[in-house]
Every structure is written in structure tokens, then in C-alpha cells.
Amino acid sequence: MKKAFLIAALGMVVGGTCMSQRNNDALGGAMNNTEDFDDAMESFERGGATNAEEYFFGVQAMVVIIDVKLRAVEYLDSMDAKPEEITSHCDDMLKLIKNCKKAMQRYEGKGWTMQDKLQALTIEWVDAVKMLVNNYIKPLAIPFSIPDKDWKDADFDFYDKYLAAYEIYLEIDNRWVDFQYEFAAANGFELSAETIDMDPLIKEEVGQ
């Protein structure tokens, strides 16, 4: 029997800041829907972050968008989406990962406190997602497209390996979540205790 795939929520927090030097509304931390995150991502990719706070929310926006797509895979599996739809979804994730790394490179050398650590941890995070996509999700595109009752033993065995690899990703994910508070404190801004509601973003992603 296929194991229940309970994906832990990424504990991203809604922006809430005490800094007075925000110059970019798109990167101001008030991100609650897909449009907000897309605007922040686009601004970040253009080099719109002017301080550590805006940099953080730009990185966060890209991480959230990638995370939404990763968690949408479970929905695609439950919907028995077509293999080409799952593969296209994977390609979108890989493109976002590439863009995230490229965007962060624009800000290298800014000298914000713990910037290097945030960048390194984010690269570790996106590389873990890339590993899941290339090594497991793409190979599972055909099994995901058919009902679980039609899976072969080899499909279940490979899926178990996917779950084990996902645990590795979650360990990195937990460290990213914990570090966001450390980065904010080191750079003089505060984060709300309220976490981002991911479910509506995921359902919008898969058209539900």
C-alpha cells in the first residue's frame, strides 16, 4: 500500500517589520497571495532589493514559489495528472531554481549581516529540491499518472526511496525556517508570528 505522504508546512512567516527604510513595496513583506509573491520575485530578479530586509523577502518569495510547486506534486499525483503535465511542472521548478540562484548572485558583496549564510542555506535548499525533481519526481511521472491500485511493486519501492529522500530535504527546510528569524534579528527587522497560508497557493497552482 502506498504510504500517506504528509508534507510538512514550510514555516514561512508573513512580513511584519520595524524598519523604516523600506523602499520597495513589492519587497515589503506583505505577501499573502500568488500575485504578491510573483511581484516580489520579479522585483528581486531585477535587482530591486535595496537593503537586507528587502533582500530577505525577495529570497523568501522565490523559496515560497518553488515550495508551492514542490508540494503541488502531491496534488498532481492524487489527480492522476498526465505524465507530460508532471514533467512540465518539474521543468518549471528547475527553471525557478536556476533563476533563484542567478537572482541572488546579483546581490553578492552587499555586505548585509549574515547575507552569505542566507544565500548558502538557500542554495542548499534549492539543490535539495532539484535532487528530488531530477532523481525521483520525474521518474515517477508515469506512476503518478495512474491510480495507486495499478502500481507495480517496483513503483512502490521507488516511491519509498522518494519519501526517504524527502526527509533529507525536510531537514534542510527546517534549518531554513529557523534561520529566517536569526537573519531578521541580525538585520534589525521583525517577522510576524503568523505563518503564510500555503494551501490556497497550492490549490491555485493546480487549478482547484
Question: pLDDT tens digit string along 168-178?
Answer: 999 999 999 99
Cβ within 8 Å of residue 95, ≥6 positions away: none
Residue 24: per-residue pLDDT: 56
Question: pLDDT tens digit string along 35-55?
Answer: 888 999 999 999 999 999 999
Distance of alpha carbon 23 from alpha carbon 51, whole angstroms: 9
Residue 52: per-residue pLDDT: 95
Percent over 90 (pLDDT), the chain: 73
Distance of alpha carbon 20 from alpha carbon 115, whole angstroms: 20
Residue 31: per-residue pLDDT: 72
Please give the chain's pLDDT, 208 residues, in tens.
444 444 444 455 544 444 444 455 678 756 778 888 899 999 999 999 999 999 999 999 999 999 999 999 999 999 999 999 999 999 999 999 999 999 999 999 999 999 999 999 999 999 999 999 999 999 999 999 999 999 999 999 999 999 999 999 999 999 999 999 999 999 999 887 777 888 888 888 887 6
Listed as own residue / partner, the contacts of 173-180 with beta carbons closer than 8 Å and 24 or more positions apart are 173/8, 173/10, 173/125, 173/128, 174/8, 175/121, 176/10, 176/63, 176/121, 176/122, 176/125, 177/10, 177/11, 177/12, 179/117, 179/118, 179/121, 180/12, 180/13, 180/56, 180/60
Mean pLDDT score across all residues of the chain:
87
Residue 4: per-residue pLDDT: 45
Strands (E), the chain: 13-15, 191-195
Residue 35: per-residue pLDDT: 86
Residue 109: per-residue pLDDT: 94
Residue 18: per-residue pLDDT: 42
